[in-house]
Amino acid sequence: MRLPPFVVALLAALILAGPASAEETAKQSVADGIKAKTQPLLKALSLIGTPYKFGSSNPEKGLDCSGFVKHVYKESADISLPRSAAEMSQKGTDIAQSDLKPGDLVFFNTRKKPNSHVGIYAGDGAFVHASSSSSKEVTISNIAEKYWAKRFNGARRVLPSE
């Protein structure tokens, strides 16, 4: 059976376009994955300076620590997290401090109870959080600082793995 010339041409075009299309799809998939993993941190950094307000997850009114994290993940990654730091500490995958990656959640004991404070790891020991203490705003601190080091409770990864 002999195929009409336009069918042969169409098949040839599809075969030739196949690898390029697959390559482009793969590139787009990698780019989408990188974007998905960086969006929460970029959103968190954009909120630095937002005033602290206990019980709020609305940046126009102010944010507390769990409201800040809940807002960041919902707006940037469409991930719904619980409202309290303690409940957030049960979500995602438990990870060691040595395995922290930007976007991971870090938990601290700041009220004489575990996981009473939460922030978003930014890299190189830094984390972004809504502080109720001296600055009373969304700020950057370092896990290695004495105050935070002795209160570190653990970390969770809520973003999809690679």
How do the domains of the chain map onto residue ranges? 40-157
Q: Is 84 helix (H, G, I), strand (E, B) or coil?
A: coil
pLDDT band at 134 (very low <50, low <70, confident <90, very high): confident
Please provide the size of the chain in residues: 162
Q: Is 54 a catalytic residue?
A: no
Rounded to an integer, the average pLDDT of 1-12 is 56
What is the distance between the alpha carbons of residues 106 and 143, in angstroms, rounded to a whole number? 9
Mean pLDDT of the chain: 86
Task: Give percent of the chain above pLDDT 70.
Answer: 77
Q: Confirm whether pTM is higher than 0.85.
A: no
Q: Is 65 a catalytic residue?
A: yes
Position 28 pLDDT exceeds 70: no
Q: Which residue in the list 41, 47, 65, 69 is annotated as catalytic? A: 65
Q: Which residue in the list 43, 53, 71, 129 is annotated as catalytic? A: 129
What is the distance between the alpha carbons of residues 25 and 93, in angstroms, rounded to a whole number? 29
Q: Is 71 a catalytic residue?
A: no
Strand segments, DSSP code E, in the chain are: 57-58, 62-63, 93-95, 105-108, 117-123, 126-130, 138-142, 152-157
Which residue do the tokens 């409201």 mark?
Answer: 67
Token pair listed for 113: 């109870």
- Res 22: pLDDT: 60
Position 13 pLDDT exceeds 60: no
pLDDT band at 135 (very low <50, low <70, confident <90, very high): confident
Q: What is the pLDDT of residues 90-112, one digit of tens each?
A: 999 999 999 999 999 999 999 88
Q: Which residue in the list 117, 120, 122, 155 is annotated as catalytic? A: 117
Contact call for residues 122 and 139 (beta carbons, < 8 A): no
Task: Spell out the CATH class of 40-157.
Answer: alpha beta
pLDDT band at 8 (very low <50, low <70, confident <90, very high): low
pLDDT band at 61 (very low <50, low <70, confident <90, very high): very high
Nearest to 81 by CA among 94, 64, 95, 69: 69
